[in-house]
Amino acid sequence: QIEFKHRKKIRSIKAGGMLSTKIGRGMDFKDVREYSYGDDTRFIDWNVTSRTGNVHVKVFHEENDRLINIFLDISSSMLFSGSNDYNKFFIGFQFLAFILLLSLHSGDRVNIVLYSDKVEEIHKDVKTKTEAYKILKKIYSYSLLNKKTSHHLPFQLLKDRMPRKSVSYIISDFAGLSDLGLYRPLQELHELYAIRVSDRSEEKPEDKVFKYFFINRIEEGTGGPFYRSSFHRESKLLAQFYRNNLLHLRTDSELGKEILYFMSK
């Protein structure tokens, strides 16, 4: 059995005893900063605001349990495994399991969302390893056949249904991704990470036959030569939105090495 330590410093034995830099009603005043969309107006510092002419809010250290949201894309395209024995769903599942167990070890609360073009399942407030293992077993046996994707769904859930100031991981191949600029305000409210899973053959098809393979429209059962250029367009969109909060895992990746390096940055 392997236990993992979180890269953040744990401050107490109590569940979720972690020093947060997010704004909140904590014991210790930290600083003031300019108001951002979504900030609690109760924390406006009127003295600084009147002096500078710009609205400022107070920032506090806050010790509480963090909420971790893990979104896993279970659309049909995640079944692809062109150059390896493992498909993209398996790689995404491995990352989900890692983050889930790591978060529970740190005393955090975890929400797990399985989505396609709709919410398939939500497991709320997972707190124990016994509960986690039951959920993982269920997820691993989930059917991915004939499911399409809505890459905007996780953002809509974060906006409408999830508490603010969470840490959220979105695990997907992001095939067919469109511009995410509309959701930039959410980056002020949540710590967002994208985990992109892919197969090397998607990035650089080895022969002309593959270019016409069904991967481009695997969720619809049709194909075309479009996917290769689409992959690099999606890569650019992800890099622009997530910047350093983007991890790319391939079906032939050394998962442990890649994940530990990413978490230690």
pLDDT tens by residue, 210-262: 544 444 455 555 444 444 558 888 999 999 999 999 999 999 988 888 988 88
pTM above 0.85, yes or no: no
For residue 262, which phi and psi values (nearest 5 degrees)? Answer: -65, -45
Q: CB of 33 within 8 A of CB of 59?
A: yes
Phi-psi map region of 243: left, alpha, beta (phi>0 left; psi -120 to 50 alpha): left
State the pLDDT at residue 214: 46
As a whole number of Å, the end-to-end CA separation of the chain is: 25
| 67-264 placed in CATH 3.40.50.410 | yes
pLDDT tens by residue, 166-195: 999 999 999 989 999 999 999 999 999 999
**Residue boundaries of the structural domains of the chain:** 18-64, 67-264
